[in-house]
Structure 1
Amino acid sequence: MSDDGGLWLLALGPAGATALYWALYRYYRNTDKSHAFERETAVEAKPVTGSERKVDEVKGTRETRIRGDNVRAYRTRVQRVRNDSS
């Protein structure tokens, strides 16, 4: 008498682990829903404008951040390209 009925149970372990790994990878990576910066963002170069007027002076390392920086507000810095051709 052969015990072929238990063989599928042994194969279920690695198959289940692979399926779980792939599901977690897709859930956390969201590679199909990522923002493609190179394709969806238009960056237009404009001439540099400004003046040589001195505004403020910071000596040493008293201030570790620049006042008014927008490093963490990337959604306000980057805007999607809107195609009105549809």
Structure 2
Amino acid sequence: MSDDSGLWLLAAGPVGATALYWMLYRYYRNTDKSHAFERETTIEAKPITGSDSKVGTVTGTQETRIGGDNVYEYRKRVQRNGK
């Protein structure tokens, strides 16, 4: 028996690692199946509508909270679907 019969085993390591890397890359990236938004979606520009109007001014305030906030009212803030 010659020592050349074991060379395929040495070559199988890097070849197998490369194949595994490529398989995992293709599985998780899905580059051939992903949606290319920039190429496949057209957006038509429309004229800007609306207006700007000043509704109030706050200067020099020392308040740390906004009046009417619901930070501590968890049940009102978080709405469950189906209720």
TM-score (norm 1): 0.58
Counterpart position of 2:14:
14
TM-aligned CA deviation for residue 55 of structure 1: 5.5
Amino acid at match of 2:53: R
TM-aligned CA deviation for residue 53 of structure 1: 2.8
Runs of 4+ in 1 over 6 A off after TM superposition: 56-60
Counterpart position of 1:50:
50
Counterpart position of 2:35:
35
Amino acid at match of 2:37: F
Q: Which has the higher contact order (CA 8 A, sep 6+)?
A: 1
Task: Structure 1 unaligned segments of length 5 or more: list them.
Answer: 64-86
- 2:20 and 2:58 map into 1 onto residues whose CA distance is 53
Instruction: Tell me the matched-pair count.
Output: 63
Amino acid at match of 1:10: L
- 1:58 and 1:25 map into 2 onto residues whose CA distance is 53
Amino acid at match of 2:41: T
Counterpart position of 1:83:
none
Amino acid at match of 1:9: L
User: Could you say if the C-alpha distance between residues 56 and 30 of structure 1 is closer, same or farther in structure 2, counting changes exceeding 3 Å?
Assistant: farther
TM-aligned CA deviation for residue 35 of structure 1: 1.0
- 2:58 and 2:43 map into 1 onto residues whose CA distance is 31
Task: Structure 2 unaligned segments of length 5 or more: list them.
Answer: 67-83
TM-score (norm 2): 0.60
